[in-house]
Homo-oligomer: A and B are copies of this chain.
Amino acid sequence: MHGGAGTILKKNMTPEKEVAYRETMTKALQTGYDALKSGKSSLDAVEVAIHVLEDSPLFNAGKGAVFTHEGKNELDAAIMDGKSLKAGAIAGVTVIRNPISAARAVMEKSEHVMMAGKGAENFAKQAGLTLVDPSYFYTEERWKGLQQALKQDSMKTVLDHDKKAQRLGTLNPDFKFSTVGAVALDKAGNLAAGTSTGGMTNKRFNRIGDAPIIGAGTYANNATAGISGTGWGEFYIRTVLAHDLSAMMEYQNLSVQEASKRVIAKMGKLGGDGGLIALDKNGQVAMEFNTAGMYRGTVTEDGKITVDIYK
């Protein structure tokens, strides 16, 4: 799992906060592990593990999502099943408590792959998902983040992990969080991947990032890997990053680690930054990033949990 890549530096982190991050990542990994152990599918594990991060105010997804320019929380998510290559995604929703579950409902209960805005919300309502008042997503820290972003640059959208923004020197140290994601492999050998995000602080124009774009921020294929990205979304879309990783494995026989390195390098060369997690059909894990840190963790078949933050 990942909880976002960015300029996460030890010197900006309080010990209490670091503990909170580690504990929440651990809880999410344990939740996914328990689902798999009880015989549930990789899709189930991805979904319930992401719920833990979506329900936490620490991560930029669900509760804890950053604010748009207009002071709203607009959420994106996607999920993909590596066995059937079925996928579901939602973009720009404001009242769905757990966007990852809405993405799964799109995959399983509609003929579509992607829905946006009000339409996606109407669908989620019909599908019986938990809806909340938009105020549910308010957190003081994110609100302050928006105010700083607005003050800093009233014209230009600021990426919460943007190096240019960093250069401006006034960014809230908590801007760096991004997207959360999970990939899992179950007993039946099926891979799944999911990603959920609040996008960029101060985003405008109903911008859609890479998280809900199948092939960009989210992709799963039993023949190759399950992949979830976190970073400067525009570059993930332009490099079709998650699918490119899969294609390198499929067509060049690269390992998941080598393919991960190459796609992060390609994306970085264009000027982007961020990270990814990938898990192949043999349980090989890659966690690559070109930022200072990435909240990340793994749980192995025997239940061993590892969580890391810095490079």
B-binding residues in A (CB < 8 A):
85-87, 91-92, 110-120, 122-123, 156-157, 159, 204-209, 213-216, 219, 233-234, 237-240, 243-244, 247-248, 251-252, 270
Contacts and interface: CB of A to CB of B under 8 A. Distances in A.
A207 B122 CA distance: 12
Contacts of A119: 204-207
A243 B114 CA distance: 18
Contacts of A208: 91, 114-116
B85 A239 contact: yes
Nearest to A114: B208
A114 B199 CA distance: 12
Which of A111, A156, A252 counts the most chain B CB atoms within 10 A? A111
26 contacts: A85-B238, A87-B237, A92-B117, A110-B205, A111-B156, A111-B159, A111-B234, A112-B205, A112-B207, A113-B234, A114-B207, A115-B206, A115-B207, A117-B117, A118-B206, A119-B204, A120-B205, A123-B204, A123-B205, A213-B213, A213-B215, A214-B237, A215-B240, A247-B248, A248-B251, A251-B252
Nearest to A215: B240
Contact of A214 (B209, B216, B270): B216
A245 to B, nearest CB: 10
Contacts of A92: 116-117
Nearest to A111: B157
Contacts of A214: 213, 216, 237-238, 240
Contacts of A123: 204-205
